[in-house]
Amino acid sequence: MGEWAVITGAGDGIGKAYCFELARRGLNIAMISRTLEKLQKVATEIEQATGRKVKVIQADFTKDYVYEAIEESLQGLEIGILVNNVGMLHNPVPCRFLNGPDIAENLINCNVISVTKMTRIILKQMEPRQKGLILNLSSGLGTFPCPLYTLYSASKAYICTFSKALQAEYKKKGIIIQVVTPYGVSTPMTKYQKPNVIMKTAEEYVKESLEPASCSSFPYGYSTARDFKR
């Protein structure tokens, strides 16, 4: 598919786990996230553990002006996989729409615009090669209307619909576009709830999501991602 994987929201949680797992599977990693120090620390760990190349790109996805710089930073990389993982949850939760902070613009930029614009940037490169995987992280809360998580739920529903429609457009071009919908994963967003039968660690979840367990464009937790560098 290509020598590089691009992961957004790569500094911790599920994004960090994707970086490590894809590096172990032979890809070089381009990490994009807000906190430079965190990215640099994780990049060093990946390089030492896997021997793969790691590129660090600092970007705050709550802002809408970051994409030109991101695209320039990715110039010259043969990108086989994009993981649109970055996202944010309004705080406090649960809460009624009018009782929460007015962060609609930041949340939409981070959860909706980031997926749309990063997909456009990478898909332009994948289409001529007629191969690639775009993996979009939604949420179990995006599969049904979820009161008291209204903005978050709606933003994740967009990712589900966007991914499913885009796969219909590009399937015949050899590009796989899939969405995964995690429910319980122990990450900073879930305040590191203790893993159990239902609550998975980020590492467990990522390994399962990358198993070739489904050929569907809309799996609930799995993606088809075999022969990454082919």
Which amino acid, residue 54?
A: V
Which DSSP letter does residue 112 get? Answer: I
Q: Mind listing the domains of the chain with CATH numbers? A: 4-209 (3.40.50.720)
Pairing type for strands 132-137 and 175-180 reads parallel
SS3 track for 142-179: HCCCCCCCHHHHHHHHHHHHHHHHHHHHHHHHCEEEEE
Residue 92 pLDDT exceeds 60:
yes
Which of 152, 158, 192, 220 is labelled catalytic? 152
Q: Residue 173, Cβ neighbours under 10 Å: how many?
A: 14
Q: What angle do CA 193, 196, 197 make, to 5 degrees?
A: 140
Instruction: With CA atoms as reference, report the closest residue to 135 among 178, 80, 175.
Output: 178
pLDDT in tens, 25-71: 999 999 999 999 999 999 999 999 999 999 999 999 999 999 999 99
Is the overall model pTM greater than 0.85, yes or no? Answer: yes
pLDDT in tens, 103-158: 999 999 999 999 999 999 999 999 999 999 999 999 988 999 999 999 999 999 99
Q: Let me know if 65 is a catalytic residue.
A: no
Q: What is the pLDDT of residue 184?
A: 64
